[in-house]
């Protein structure tokens, strides 16, 4: 298996032979410098991105999948609403979102991650940034996105979804729109959250208000545009009132 930077970071170091000194470039302090550099590179590459939406979903779907086509439509509608589109830059739903952005003529961004078995950059990315560390990449998604659109996906998709929900629930970031595309796909999870997590007091019922569920790309984009407009109006009022 390929030794990725994340894998090396999260592996406890083994002691070197007593007669040897570990090379600095294989130590955790050196990795801290690499992580810092990765943050700097990401911030620099995305510094001009002020209005964007992140699209997440399975890398395993093909062009024939209905949700691939829905993601293309979503990316295009977001572009027509003057949002850049950010994805993980890989295949499947990510490719579809970037493809829609390309069709609309807006900035199409791919945040690739180093993985043992994937990830290749899709052909519809205008600005591609490579990351070794998941947590650095996740920071970029949250920092530069006005909303998340989450299509059917696996562990990686769920990770991004719950990362955003946790940050909003704990008020680490302001609330933004999180759209779940495909009511059928997400219904089991939502039912479990209501009947177990809410019922047992693990989360509050109003925490579920952080999620907007739809099957319609037009409705998803309309919701994002509406909330973005309200946020912009609130900022204008604060600026006017000093």
Structural domain boundaries in the chain: 38-241
Angstrom distance (rounded) from CA 22 to CA 19? 10
Q: What is the arithmetic mean of pLDDT over 204-225?
A: 97
Say if CB 90 and CB 122 are below 8 A apart. Answer: yes
pLDDT of residue 186: 98
Q: How confident is the model at residue 4 (pLDDT cuts 50, 70, 90)?
A: confident
Q: How confident is the model at residue 7 (pLDDT cuts 50, 70, 90)?
A: low
Residue carrying structure tokens 């991650």:
113
Question: Token pair of 164, please?
Answer: 């955003």
Angstrom distance (rounded) from CA 112 to CA 94? 10
The CATH architecture of the domain made up of 38-241 is 3-Layer(aba) Sandwich (3.40)
Angstrom distance (rounded) from CA 173 to CA 175? 6
Say if CB 158 and CB 56 are below 8 A apart. Answer: no
Say if CB 71 and CB 178 are below 8 A apart. Answer: no
* Helix ranges restricted to H, 105-154: 134-144
Does position 1 have pLDDT exceeding 70, yes or no? no
């Amino acid at each position: 298996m390929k030794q990725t930077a994340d894998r090396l970071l999260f592996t406890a170091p083994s002691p070197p032979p007593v007669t040897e000194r570990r090379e600095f470039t294989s130590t955790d302090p050196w990795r801290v410098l690499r992580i810092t550099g990765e943050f700097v590179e990401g911030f620099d590459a995305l510094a001009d991105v002020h209005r964007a939406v992140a699209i997440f979903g399975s890398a395993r779907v093909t062009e024939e999948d209905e949700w691939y086509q829905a993601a293309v439509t979503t990316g295009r509608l977001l572009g027509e609403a003057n949002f850049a589109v950010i994805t993980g830059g890989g295949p499947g739903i990510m490719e579809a979102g970037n493809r829609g952005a390309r069709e609309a003529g807006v900035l199409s961004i791919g945040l690739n991650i180093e993985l043992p078995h994937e990830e290749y950059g899709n052909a519809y990315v205008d600005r591609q940034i490579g990351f070794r560390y998941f947590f650095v990449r996740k920071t970029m998604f949250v920092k530069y996105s006005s909303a998340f659109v989450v299509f059917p996906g696996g562990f990686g998709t769920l990770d991004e979804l719950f990362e955003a929900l946790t940050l909003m629930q704990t008020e680490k970031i302001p609330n933004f729109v999180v759209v779940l595309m495909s009511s059928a796909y997400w219904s089991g999870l939502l039912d479990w959250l209501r009947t177990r997590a809410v019922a047992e007091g693990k989360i509050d019922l109003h925490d579920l208000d952080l999620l907007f569920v739809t099957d319609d790309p037009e409705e998803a984009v309309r919701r994002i545009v509406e909330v973005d407009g309200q946020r912009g109006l609130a900022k204008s009022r604060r600026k006017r009132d000093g």
